[in-house]
Amino acid sequence: MQNKKIFILSTLGLFVFNFVNAQPVCPVCVVAVAGGLGLSRWLGINDVITSIWIGAFLIAITVWTYHWLGKKGWNFRFYRIATFLFYYLFTIVPLYYMNMIGLVGNTILGVDKVLFGIFLGTFIFMASVWFNLYLKKINNGKGYFPYQKVIVPFGILILSSLILYFII
């Protein structure tokens, strides 16, 4: 129930702070990531897989915020690291206090499953966005197919989730 509240408040925050206008990572991607997060939690899927979606959502909203701050001219010293820490700490700390992080035996490779998944999801999403930019670069700045900007990152997140699902 509390996870649903966090998800709903995060989604509402997007509109309250007018992030819809900032689009370095498209809004459809972020909505898709948030939908995947909600669906995986609802289905009771392993914490690592769910947390991949949390990490992807966090980095997407962080990049949105960078862009939004830039458009507003609010580029203060260390704003990127401050924004990154803000979103990650305001996600990880409540998860810790909700006893979703730090549970005995809930580890993978010696790291808490939720933390592992968050940082893995951050890396996967960033890599998939860079991969999409690379694909566009080698195709003269054009996508190979419609909605490539959405399909590539979302598809890589789904593929990564499926691979981990079958490994774990």
pLDDT, tens only, 125-158: 999 999 999 999 999 989 899 889 889 999 999 9
20 within some domain: no
Domain range for 88? 30-167
Residue at 73 is within a domain: yes
Closest Cα to residue 30, out of 16, 50, 44, 10?
10
Residue 6 covered by a domain:
no
Question: Quick check: is 80 in a domain?
Answer: yes
Q: Domain count for the chain, please give it.
A: 1
Tell if the pTM clears 0.85, that is, is over it: no
- Assess if residue 77 is contained within a domain: yes
Is the pLDDT confidence value at 119 over 90?
yes
